[in-house]
Amino acid sequence: MTEQLNTQTISSLKDKISTQLNLFYLALSFFTRIPVPKKMHYSVTLLNKANRYFSLVGIVIGLLLVVSYVGFNTFLPSNIAIILTMVLSLLLTGAFHEDGLADMADGIGGAFSIEKKLAIMKDSRIGTYGSVTLIMALLLKFTLLVELAALDSNHLLLAFILAASLSRAIAGSLISAMPYVTDEAQSKSKPLAQAQSTQELIILLFIGCVPLLWYSSEIAFSILLLLLVFRWLFKKWLMAKIGGFTGDCLGATQQIAELLIYLTLVAYLSADSFVGAAA
């Protein structure tokens, strides 16, 4: 009897692990071009549950960027290593979030009515607003990463993981905070997670915040405060402009949050370097 119960317990545990791995693979396949097992199961319900692992996917991406930067920087100057690492990041994700940022800029910047804004976002072509926004975002990211490398290369490596994870947590958290306004049947992108339970939100945010443990309480608090203020303001702005969120808006949220994290780290490290030099 005891052996039977143990067998059932082990079987149940394997099923639970298999279910969670499937959700993780689903999140990984949604956000990246990284191959996943062919036996992965997909459904809209599973995708909604998989959003709990969006920030975990960010940690995986961040670790891959760390390894790539260290490899490139072994043979090349840091600025070239950073450019190549950014290229790898775009290849890993298929420029998924960058595309969202550009499409959102085109849609909201190029029309007045909500219907027209959404129609422009669905257009695969990129316009002036999208081009300018994307170019400036990539230039700012490169500049901030170069500055981080010059100030402290260890902080650059940690920043890759923190920014990739926490920015996706902030973006994913909007799923439960706003209505989804894009007609999925007409959307040019893959189906998007449109529902989020409290449990999934907690897991998403917890994983996203784990890399903050590497930082001082002052830096961690400043980053969280800045991101919460940004999330609140961006949410109000999106509600006023289109009455909710689209997949492109989540991509834009991730990109802006990532830049804010890098910006905060550069500000703190620059201030520390200035104080140290003055002393």
Share of the chain above pLDDT 70, in %: 88
> pLDDT confidence of 207, banded at 50, 70, 90?
very high
Determine the Cα–Cα distance for residues 190 and 210; give it in Å rounded to an integer. Answer: 29
Q: Which two tokens stand for residue 132?
A: 């300018």
Residue 159 has pLDDT above 50, yes or no: yes
Give the chain's radius of gyration (CA, Å): 20
How many other β-carbons are positioned within 10 Å of the β-carbon of residue 5? 9
Compute the distance between CA of residue 168 and CA of residue 252 in angstroms, rounded to an integer.
10
Report which of residues 45 and 108 the model is more confident about: 108
For the chain, the DSSP string reads: -HHHHHHHHHHHHHHHHHHHHHHHHHHHHHH------TT----HHHHHHHGGGHHHHHHHHHHHHHHHHHHHHHHS-HHHHHHHHHHHHHHHHTTHHHHHHHHHHHHHHS-SSHHHHHHHHH-SS--HHHHHHHHHHHHHHHHHHHHHHHH-HHHHHHHHHHHHHHHHHHHHHGGGTS-B-S-GGG-SS--------HHHHHHHHHHHHGGGGGS-HHHHHHHHHHHHHHHHHHHHHHHHHTSSB-HHHHHHHHHHHHHHHHHHHHHHHHHHHHHHHH-
φ, ψ (nearest 5 deg) of residue 35: -60, 140
Across 234-253, average pLDDT: 94
Identify the pLDDT of residue 38.
Answer: 84
As a residue count, the chain comes to 279
Q: If pLDDT is split at 50, 70 and 90, which confidence band does 274 have?
A: very low
User: Mean pLDDT across the stretch 162-170?
Assistant: 97
Compute the distance between CA of residue 138 and CA of residue 162 in angstroms, rounded to an integer. 18
pLDDT computed for residue 188 by the predictor: 46
pLDDT reported for residue 190: 52
Instruction: Please give the residue that has the higher pLDDT: either 55 or 153.
Output: 55
Low-confidence winner among 98-102, 236-240, 257-261, 266-270 (lowest mean pLDDT): 266-270
**Across 159-186, average pLDDT:** 87
CA distance linking residue 107 with residue 243, whole number of Å:
13
Is pLDDT at 186 greater than 70 in this prediction? Answer: no
Domains of the chain by residue range:
45-270
pLDDT grade for 277, boundaries at 50, 70 and 90 = very low
Q: Which residues, in sequence order, are CB contacts of 179 under 8 Å at separation 6+?
A: 243, 244, 245
More confident residue, 96 or 47: 96
Q: Which residues of 9-25 are buried (b: 16+ CB within 10 A; e: fewer)?
A: eeeeeeeeeeeeebbbb
Task: Give the CA dihedral 163, 164, 169, 174, nearest 10 degrees.
Answer: 90
Residue 125 pLDDT > 90, yes or no? Answer: no
Q: Output the pLDDT for position 15.
A: 76
Cα–Cα distance measured from residue 252 to residue 275, given in angstroms and rounded to the nearest whole number? 35
In the numeric block, the tokens 């201030």 are attached to 271
pLDDT at 251 over 50: yes
The pLDDT of 49-53, averaged and rounded, is: 90
Which pTM value belongs to this model? 0.91
Q: What is the pLDDT of residue 12?
A: 66
Q: Cβ(32)–Cβ(15) under 8 Å?
A: no
